[in-house]
Structure 1
Amino acid sequence: MIDFYLNGQRQQCADISPDTSALELLRVYLGKTGTKEGCASGDCGACTVAVGEPDGSGGLAYHNANACIMPAHQLSGCHVVTVEGLARGDALHPVQAAMVDCHGSQCGFCTPGIIMSLFTLHEGQRHQPAPLTQERLESALGGNLCRCTGYRPIRDAALRMGDYPDTHPTWADDPDLPRNVETLSTDATRMSQSAPEAATGYTAPRDLAALREVRRQQPDARLVAGGTDLWLEVTQQLKSLDEVVDIREVTELNGIEETPHGWWVGAAVTFRRLEPLFTEHYPAFAHLMHRFASSQIRNRATMGGNVANASPIGDTPPVLLALGARLALDGPEGEREIPIDAFFLDYKQTALKAGEFIRAIFLPHLADRQLKVWKLSKRREDDISAVLAAFSWRLDNGVMKDVRLAYGGMAAIPRRALQAEAALEGQSPSRAAFEAARAALRHEFQPLDDVRGSSEYRLVAAANLLERLRLMLEKETSHDNNTTEICLDAYAH
């Protein structure tokens, strides 16, 4: 049973298969066809909806999400708003009015998704007003593509939507709606669910013990947290997912625990929740989030899923390799801990045993180490890496120590460049040392040719990023104020 609110009205949908997407539920089962399917892969944003969840203070916090790759069962206990739920009769919502007046729509196919992303931005502005900077606008709209307008009128609409009267939807008049949604989200029957629904094969354990038991009974069932990658098997490969275990609500997988040496991050913690931690303690990691997918994805995706997916072009594994992260694995046979270096075995193959799952990821303090992360992709926003480099080191009396150079997109797995590391370890950051490191790099990687770049391009790019590190270190140690800044793009750091 999927029990949720849609545009202020309660919906109860029974006998929904485990691999049904939120988009399919909305369009096919509930007739809300304003939400469109464009790419069916979370890239274009035409399917964007707003998902409201209890904010802990008696209200609802809304975030935008791609309905095409969101499991329908994850709508349970939420308030979902679609484009049909914004206008108040003939009176348009401020976002809609601004889009009309600024000519922000042409063919109109992508418009509902853009409006829903702007709606979540507008809701945030209502509760916590802040300047709508270019960076905030790009973050909010980076996951919405439009082939017609050229984006300027959409940007104009975003900047003007606060000037319109707050014509809120009729459902916003209901003072009981937040409380009703919260009651639904904490319903005792849902919270105690630990076995598959008989008609669907969908399981949603709520604690670690229940998850272990489910994994003992269903070791081959597919695990899902945000669904931002797994659901591509349904939409792009047309596979059926007959048994799905949803770990999103497992209490122990949702915590962030600080220790004297770093943080244990639960595998179900979303990237959106991690942003404050990254901003304060790992600025380079925080900077990568500007280039990591879109706001729709970051609101749902988890670092645990990004690691377990074991993609050679995943954005976070190289950073975790550079940091020397550790993984807490769990399952029916108990828990164990391994360094992340031992996790990736071969293409899409990991050290997870039958029934095991990632429980948490340990991020060590940087302390006196430095971290730099640079991503190369064809688009700045919402694109997959061609090459991603993550470098960590410390300088001890002018000598590089604890050097860790990790790359994505250079092999079948995310991998450290051990020979290049050895060439730099214990050396000053000189031209000669980096020349040796770049030469070693060519011998230890044989990247593939694909649509994102040739093997030669990747080798040259990887070496150039090492050279960029040398130039950056030279600038930091130089007393010449005229040293040219090394810059890749507007988000370079």
Structure 2
Amino acid sequence: MIDFMLNGQPCRSDAVPETSVLELLRETLGATGTKEGCASGDCGACTVAIGEPGPNGELRYHSANACITPAHQLNDRHLVTVEGLAQGEQLHPAQAAMVACHGSQCGFCTPGIVMSLFTLHEQQRHAPAPLTPQRLEAALGGNLCRCTGYRPIRDAALSMDQHPENRPLWLDAAAETKTEAHAPSADAAFLQPTTLAALSDCLKRHPKARLVAGATDLWLESTQRLARFEHVIDVTRVTELNEIDEVALEDGRSGWWIGAAVTYSRLEPLLDEHYDAFAHLLHRLGSQQVRNRGTLGGNVANASPIGDTPPVLLALGSRLRLVSPEGERELPLDDFFLDYKRTALREGEAIRAIFLPRPEAGQTLKVWKLSKRREDDISAVLGAFAYRLENGVMRDVRLAFGGMAAIPKRATNAEVALEGKAPDLAAFHAAREALSNDFQPMSDVRGSAHYRRLSAANLLERLRLSIAQAETDSSREVMLHAYAH
């Protein structure tokens, strides 16, 4: 049973474990304003807003793709759809701006765009900030429109504050409204533990259950393959998995244990402060809707060879903390990926946290992603390179790639070719030659084996040019930034 607030009204509904929010809305509740476009989280036509308490207890809304959000994750949450925004003839500023700027033609994608604008409007109310091109692209990058072009939609976003503040009256009272969440039985098909102890108990009783956090990949099994799940364990409510703890390790290193249920959006401020190259990658990891739901833990556990974050974590020397009914254990991320979609996770075991080391003095991280689209696309090749320059030679070289093997993998032979060497033509030529011993990539729809080998070698050459560029006083970039404005 799912108990939640729908556009300010209490709602209770039953659903099988694999039901999405979109299916619940359209097929069970008859709320058809939310549209189904791709059913894979790519187009944004199904965008809705989900409200949940922030750190100070204040209700905050984030955009989400209803087609790949598990319906049961609405339990004890507030859901806003396009039907809930207008008050009679009085339009919400997001709607009024779209009308005034002629931001809609066929109208199919419009509900999703309006909901992305609604969440942007709510963010501006809580924390006003300039609507820079970067912020607008982040807010609207997950919404596709084939009719109007994007300029009128952008104009609508920039002009929302020029329209009357006709927010639904129930929004202001929503934070004070408490739903009477139905506690699932111990043998329910969709389980939502709230503590680590409860999670361990769920894993003990259902060791073969599917674990879900953001569902940005798992739910494609339901929407694209029509899979059915006997038991699902939702880790997003587990307190310990939502924490970011700064720690010092026994070996002298320090860093952060990032809970496996921490979303990319929550992680972004930390990366902005300490790893700008990693933070930059997040701008190209899915859409805002995906980053609001997806998690670092899920990206690692999914073990996709073209996942965006594992190569970066490999280059940084990350570790994992795993939990099971038998207790906890740690292992280096290098030992986690075994083969295509195979990991070192044992039956009934889950990722509790990922260790992100604090940057060492003099350490540089470079991350470059190659994909067919700049935004909201999966990598063809991704390179992540960490190193230090000490007395003119490269130290602690770690080179990791995605898309070059059945797993995210370090280029150990190329690392040896660069370790202790000056970053000159000869050293990097040897490193590029060594890549043929590190990887034998395959061909698929995203790129041929030849393209991948050439691209990986070119990324190493870009690294060499970047190092050479840094030693000059020129402000020019070696290559146009992939998120340039």
TM, length-normalised to structure 1: 0.95
Q: Deviations over 1:359-410 (max 9, x none)?
A: 1100111112111111011111110001100000111111101100000001
Matched, 1:487 2:479: yes
Q: State which drifts further: 91-100 or 64-73.
A: 91-100
Q: What code does the residue aligned with 2:52 have?
A: E
Matched, 1:355 2:354: no
Q: What code does the residue aligned with 1:379 have?
A: R
Closer, same or farther: CA 492–137 of 1 in aligned 2, 3 Å = closer
What is the CA distance between 1:484 and its match in structure 2?
A: 4.7
Matched, 1:219 2:207: yes
Q: What code does the residue aligned with 2:427 have?
A: A
User: What secondary structure is seen at the aligned counterpart in 1 of 2:327?
Assistant: coil
Task: Count matched residues.
Answer: 479
CA distance in 2, matches of 1:131, 1:355: 47
User: What secondary structure is seen at the aligned counterpart in 2 of 1:140?
Assistant: helix
Partner residue, 1:196:
187
Q: State which drifts further: 55-64 or 449-458.
A: 55-64
Matched, 1:178 2:175: yes
Where do residues 40-189 of structure 1 align in structure 2 (5 Å cutoff)? 40-172=39-171, 175=173, 177-181=174-178, 184=180
Partner residue, 1:384:
378
CA distance in 2, matches of 1:112, 1:484: 42
Where do residues 197-346 of structure 1 align in structure 2 (5 Å cutoff)? 197=188, 201-260=189-248, 261-346=254-339
Q: What code does the residue aligned with 1:128 have?
A: A
Q: What code does the residue aligned with 2:216 have?
A: T
CA distance in 1, matches of 2:279, 2:407: 23
User: What secondary structure is seen at the aligned counterpart in 2 of 1:180?
Assistant: coil
- Conserved 8 A contact 1:375-1:389: yes
CA distance in 2, matches of 1:56, 1:213: 27
- Conserved 8 A contact 1:195-1:204: no
What is the CA distance between 1:226 and its match in structure 2?
A: 1.0
Partner residue, 1:402:
396
Q: What code does the residue aligned with 1:288 have?
A: L
CA distance in 1, matches of 2:270, 2:393: 29
CA distance in 2, matches of 1:204, 1:345: 29
Partner residue, 1:12:
12
- Conserved 8 A contact 1:271-1:303: yes
TM, length-normalised to structure 2: 0.96
Q: Deviations over 1:399-450 (max 9, x none)?
A: 1011000000011000000000000000010110000000111232111111
Q: What code does the residue aligned with 2:137 have?
A: E
Q: Deviations over 1:14-63 (max 9, x none)?
A: 3x111110111111111110001110000000010011112244531110
Q: Deviations over 1:306-359 (max 9, x none)?
A: 000000000000000000000011112221110000000000000011111111
Q: What code does the residue aligned with 1:6 have?
A: L
CA distance in 2, matches of 1:116, 1:351: 40
CA distance in 2, matches of 1:98, 1:418: 54
Ranges in structure 2 where 5+ consecutive residues have no aligned partner: 249-253
- Conserved 8 A contact 1:313-1:414: yes
Q: What code does the residue aligned with 2:186 have?
A: A
What is the CA distance between 1:102 and its match in structure 2?
A: 0.9
CA distance in 2, matches of 1:258, 1:56: 18
Closer, same or farther: CA 472–399 of 1 in aligned 2, 3 Å = same
Closer, same or farther: CA 251–58 of 1 in aligned 2, 3 Å = closer
CA distance in 1, matches of 2:239, 2:121: 31
CA distance in 2, matches of 1:37, 1:230: 18
Match of 1:457 among 438, 441, 451: 451
Q: Deviations over 1:207-229 (max 9, x none)?
A: 11111111111111100011111
CA distance in 1, matches of 2:337, 2:482: 33
Ranges in structure 1 where 5+ consecutive residues have no aligned partner: none
**C-alpha RMSD of the superposition:** 1.5
Q: What code does the residue aligned with 2:66 have?
A: A
- Conserved 8 A contact 1:194-1:210: no
User: What secondary structure is seen at the aligned counterpart in 2 of 1:372?
Assistant: strand
Partner residue, 1:429:
423
- Conserved 8 A contact 1:258-1:264: yes
CA distance in 1, matches of 2:202, 2:317: 31
Partner residue, 1:370:
364
- Conserved 8 A contact 2:385-2:397: yes
User: What secondary structure is seen at the aligned counterpart in 2 of 1:299?
Assistant: helix
- Conserved 8 A contact 1:58-1:179: no
- Conserved 8 A contact 1:2-1:76: yes
Q: What code does the residue aligned with 1:12 have?
A: R
